[in-house]
Structure 1
Amino acid sequence: MEVILGCGAQVRVTKKGNQFVAEEVLFQQGEELCDPIGKPVDSVEALLSVLCLFALTTYEQLSVSEMQQVISETAATLREYHELNCEYLASLEQGV
């Protein structure tokens, strides 16, 4: 069974013997790659816990990446403002 989680990840769940195995399905250069998520588990409840933890971790990574981007953009804007302000003050000092 394949599931697309709210975080955007595609997960494949298979049953091997009496255990459930969850794998993240990745597509790279037209090829399908599978990356195991956690260890094989014995129950559906444990499988749901693994999937919830994986989705939460993925959301957290996306949130941290987004925050890092916002902070970088804010720092660049502040640097630009500081440079423009310095130029303005220098021109005032010169009486231009």
Structure 2
Amino acid sequence: MGLASAFASSTAILTAIIPIAVPLLLSSHLSAAGLIAALAVATTIVDTSPFSTDGALVLGNARGVDPRRFYRQVSGYTGGIVALGPVVARGALVLPWS
């Protein structure tokens, strides 16, 4: 989900993923509030991606930095967030309430 959101609209991804999560909520003992909060965090935390609107605006308006180096730094940070963000969100928002 984080990977898709890094390249697409976070709001659109969240709107699409919540209905998909309903069967999971119905067939498990997961907290609905925790799961929805974790999904919201996981989809919006990657908005720093240079491929998203917010990330592209930051990248395009950066002054006094080497654009290629800054692009690599932002891409590396986004890669880390895509890998760790959903795991941390699930651990912090879903598991304690399960």
Please say whether Structure 1 and Structure 2 have the same fold, judged by a TM-score greater than 0.5. no
Flag the structure with larger Rg.
Answer: 1
Give the structure, 1 or 2, with the largest relative contact order (CA under 8 Å, sep 6 or more).
2
Higher strand share: 1
Q: Report the TM-score when normalising by structure 1.
A: 0.36
Structure with greater proportional helix content: 2
TM-score (norm. length: structure 2): 0.36
